Structure 1
Amino acid sequence: MSERVPIPGICHIRKQGTDIRCTLPPQHDGEHRNYYQRIDWPRRPDETQAS
């Protein structure tokens, strides 16, 4: 019997000028963060989830 394993989504917005992506949940509040690299960056006013 196979069980379903939920895979949480992530924000995935890229830090400007890099390949680093946000690993917080989608639609989070505040700054972006990549937990693996311990990097934070500000949210841009015009960005969308499809960035």
Structure 2
Amino acid sequence: MCDRAVEDPEALEAYLEAQRLALLILFGDEEIQAEARAEWERQDLDAYLYLLGVCVN
């Protein structure tokens, strides 16, 4: 799965954005977390949750 994301520049960009926002949601202060959650929802990145788990594990 991770290899496919690397082959497709748009998929890689979306994956990296999902990863960035996930880190902000996990480790940011309350204001940063709220902004990151709103951006996550705006971009509808839920599909990347699986990819994040697969690539991390």
Same fold by TM (over 0.5)?
A: no
> What TM-score, normalized to structure 1?
0.25
> What TM-score, normalized to structure 2?
0.24
> Which protein, 1 or 2, shows the higher relative CO under an 8 Å CA cutoff with sep ≥ 6?
2
> Would you tell me which structure has more helix in proportion to its own residues?
2
